[in-house]
Amino acid sequence: MPANGKKILVNVYHLAAREAPYLQRLRDAGFLLEFNRLGRQQTAAELIAALPGAFGTIAGGEPYTEAVLAAPEARDLRVIARFGVGYDRVDVPAATRHGVAVAMAFGTNHEAVADGAFTLMAAAAGRVVARDRQVRSGGWGDAFHQGLWRATVGVVGIGRIGRAFIRRCVGFDMRVLAHDPAGDADWARANGVTLLALDDMLAAADFVSLHAPWTAETENLIDANRLARMKPTAYLINTARGQLVDEAALADALASRRIAGAAIDCFRVEPPAGSRLLDLDNVILTPHATGMDVTAEHAMANRCIDSILACWRGEDPGQPYLLNPDALLRDRA
């Protein structure tokens, strides 16, 4: 059944800069495409204004709240296909009540995020950014730096991304500690990973890498008390969600050299205008982009498109991609 001009919002603003060939699949099905060309995530008001006539969205980090989903402008919306694996910006129960399917791209970008996290860890340890600036300003020579080989790494969260990151650490003969209340103890044991209480792990690690979701339980998981437990020579890497870290406490710890450094890819407010982290020389900052290599881009986009086309046909995109299969059984409220 052709879509006959129904609209798909491509809200991942990175995709507006070029005509990606995989999007032709949606056009071939009869959909019109409308892009977010703001160069940033949409606000709730901007999303509502773009929704009239939209059957689905390829969703970035814009907010799908009760107010957005209940807006008259959203009456044609039937599927939110998330370009990624986090859904903290989607009110899933509200989407279900309103008959909007929420489809995820699980299993498509975990290797890219793990690559990015490992890259940031290596760059922080080797003081790559600081040394680049040193040479550009005419300087030369430096002190010794922390190495990766046989160092101890602490991993918070051993889901897909955490496990992929651990595989990279094992290749450097690192001692791997982990904290995950729901972690698979059998997997950990089989892969040489020691599961510990969070405070014990923080005290022992040379590097701490965060790979947990943002939930009520993980909000400010790394606060001033937890940072105080880390070694003064240790580094914190966050490629998960900014809300896992008390950003003010981290800035204090970095400014006082309570910890050696950090590498941060995600922030409470994005972009982090006005953040004290911007003024510190012992932190590497990147724009929430560690999962954005081209292999992951194609895999995430095609997974989103598969889900949209399945929902258009009235079919379940399949497990584990659809968070709320009951939404397919409901009329749009």
Full 3-state SS string of 121-135: HHHHHCCHHHHHHHH
Among 160, 226, 241, 303, the active-site one is 241
Phi, psi of 159 (to 5 degrees): -80, -155
**Residue with token string 């051993």:** 158
Looking at residue 243, what DSSP letter applies?
G
Task: Check: CB of residue 283 under 8 Å from CB of residue 254.
Answer: yes
Looking at residue 91, what DSSP letter applies?
-
Q: Give Cα separations from 255 to 15, 59, 246, 280, 284 (angstroms).
A: 37, 36, 14, 7, 14
CA distance 213 to 76: 30
H runs (alpha helix) in the chain: 24-28, 44-50, 66-70, 92-97, 110-125, 128-136, 160-170, 185-190, 198-204, 224-229, 247-255, 294-312
User: Structure tokens of 120?
Assistant: 């940031």
CA distance 266 to 89: 14
Among 19, 66, 219, 270, the active-site one is 270
Residue 270 known to be catalytic: yes
Residue 288 known to be catalytic: yes
- Classified as helix, coil or strand, 185 is helix
Residue 298 known to be catalytic: no
| CA 207-145-166 angle, 5° bins | 30
CA distance 70 to 66: 6
Query: 143: how many CB neighbours lie within 10 A of its CB?
Result: 5
Among 78, 82, 98, 288, the active-site one is 288
Q: Which residues form the catalytic set?
A: 241, 270, 288
